[in-house]
Amino acid sequence: MESFRIKKAAFLTSVGLQGGYPEKRPAEIALVGRSNVGKSSLINCLCGNSKLARISAAPGKTRLVNYYLINDSFYLVDLPGYGFAQRSKGEQESWGKLMEQYLTSGRVDHLLLLLDIRHEPTGEDRQMLQFLLYYGIPYTVVATKADKVAKSKRQQAANQNAKLAGAPPWGLPFSAETGEGKEALLQRIGSIVSEKEKGPEENPAEPLTET
């Protein structure tokens, strides 16, 4: 099987509580995680474009659902980060409504749950996973900033964080700085897109999380 590659990527649109989602594509893969976990950096690394997704020095800047059209075929969707303490109560309520609106829309086919490999999952991380399980959204745990821990400990740390979040004990170590995990994640995405393009009759649904 030919290795999956992202050959073309472009920002498409941002969506808020007012809606206005773009036309549905065969696959829609979203990224979620707490503020400053590295969602924008991951997108830029996968797409080979350091300026595609804006990276802010201040956490909590992504306030909308940002759509990227990949290979003129499917969407990568950057969701607002959670757990940013300096947001007002009104902003936190708006974030909650926006996330629930999107995640219950039936649009998302797979979700990449990003956890910082250096720290134990937060209460918000565990709540997000329970939300995904409740609504039956397939997911993959990605342990970001893997270059920040010793190489010999990365897989163990990724697995441990996945377990502590409430998922099966497997996570994909990823570093936007070094590119570690990029190839594995690209193939993961490629397999998800391929399955969705074939449809349920040709390719019956199977669990997409590791056991």
- Band of residue 203 on the pLDDT scale cut at 50, 70, 90: very low
> What is the average per-residue pLDDT within 187-196?
96
Tell me: the pLDDT tens digits for 98-151? 999 999 999 999 999 999 999 999 999 999 999 999 999 999 999 999 999 999
Name, in order, each residue with C-beta under 8 angstroms of 95's C-beta and a sequence gap of 6 or more: 63, 80, 82, 87
Confidence class for position 57, pLDDT limits 50, 70, 90: very low
pLDDT category of residue 82 using cuts at 50, 70 and 90:
confident
> 50 to each of 69, 165, 166, how far by Cα in Å?
16, 30, 32
Helix (H, G, I), strand (E, B) or coil at 17: coil
CA angle 137, 60, 172 (to 5 degrees): 45
Is 167 in contact with 207 (CB distance < 8 Å)?
Answer: no
Beta strands in the chain (DSSP E): 9-15, 28-33, 65-70, 74-78, 110-116, 139-144, 172-173
- For tokens 């999956």, name the residue: 4
Q: How many CB atoms lie within 10 A of CB 169?
A: 16
CATH homologous superfamily for 9-198? P-loop containing nucleotide triphosphate hydrolases (3.40.50.300)
What ranges do the domains of the chain cover? Answer: 9-198
Across residues 156-175, what is the average pLDDT?
Answer: 98
Secondary structure (3-state) at 129: helix
Give CA–CA dist 83/86, Å, rounded.
Answer: 9
65-70 and 9-15: which strand pairing? antiparallel
